[in-house]
């Protein structure tokens, strides 16, 4: 099975690669359109800044390619946020796959960024097969996706937000499954089986 990690000069490709290797997958890291289109599974990894990430995707014409994909793709952290409609980070128009907007946590009442372990709940879809409600996942983020029709998991941090999204073959998680121990590994395994 050909698994591609989309390169866009953002993202923690190393830790995602190591996590996939632990479950027997050797991924290809590339921004080559032909390699992306021929993949069985794709991951858009996290970590970075929305406006510069979108600029890179647009310069490489990967924005249109990603939106046209029919195979399963998983966005992680920033990767999920880029699949949303709009991000307050850098006043960025994103890919528009998920209709949610991405907003900055209020700094008045919360420690921002949220760094560390938090629970996921209201789990939906086969992405969370054999994952229990209120399992802990590792998060590092200052921005969050609003709740909406595409929400398949929630987390509470001063407010309740989307910690996972799904529309057709597009999946996104705000947390880092590659850094979340056995439960995160199970979520990656579930994604590979989609």
Res 123: pLDDT? 98
Question: How high is the mean pLDDT of the chain?
Answer: 96
CATH number at 3-193: 3.40.50.880
Res 107: pLDDT? 75
**CA-closest candidate to residue 102, choices 85, 115, 79, 77:** 85
Instruction: Please give the Cα distance from 25 to 130 (Å, whole number).
Output: 20
Res 175: pLDDT? 98
Is residue 178 flagged as an active site residue? yes
Instruction: Please give the Cα distance from 93 to 83 (Å, whole number).
Output: 10
Res 108: pLDDT? 77
Q: Which of 94, 135, 141, 176 is catalytic?
A: 176
Low-confidence residues of the chain, pLDDT below 70? none
**CA-closest candidate to residue 78, choices 57, 107, 112, 53:** 53
Instruction: Give 59's contacts (C-beta < 8 A, 6+ positions apart).
Output: none
Q: Which of 77, 89, 94, 135 is catalytic?
A: 77
Phi first, then psi: what are they for 148, rounded to 5°? -175, -170
Q: Which of 21, 84, 178, 189 is catalytic?
A: 178
Res 47: pLDDT? 85
First to last CA, the chain: 12
What pTM did the predictor assign? 0.97
Res 97: pLDDT? 98
Instruction: Please give the Cα distance from 137 to 148 (Å, whole number).
Output: 21
Res 25: pLDDT? 97
């Amino acid at each position: 099975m050909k698994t591609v990690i989309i390169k866009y000069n953002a993202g923690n490709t190393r830790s995602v690669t190591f996590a996939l290797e632990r479950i027997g997958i050797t991924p290809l890291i590339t921004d080559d359109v032909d390699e992306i289109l021929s993949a069985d599974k794709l991951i858009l990894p996290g970590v970075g800044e929305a406006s510069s990430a979108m600029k890179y995707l647009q310069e490489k014409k990967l924005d249109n390619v990603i939106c046209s994909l029919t195979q399963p793709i998983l966005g992680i952290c920033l990767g999920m946020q880029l699949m949303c409609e709009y991000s307050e980070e850098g006043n960025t128009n994103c890919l528009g796959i998920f209709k949610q907007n991405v907003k900055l946590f209020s700094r008045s009442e919360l420690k921002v960024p949220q760094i560390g372990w938090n629970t996921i709940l209201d789990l939906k879809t086969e992405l969370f097969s054999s994952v229990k409600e209120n399992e802990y996942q590792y998060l590092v983020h200052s921005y969050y996706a609003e709740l909406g029709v595409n929400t398949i998991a929630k987390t509470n941090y001063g407010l309740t937000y989307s910690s996972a999204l799904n529309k057709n073959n597009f999946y996104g998680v705000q947390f880092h499954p590659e850094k979340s121990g056995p439960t995160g590994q199970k979520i990656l395994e579930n994604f590979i089986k989609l």
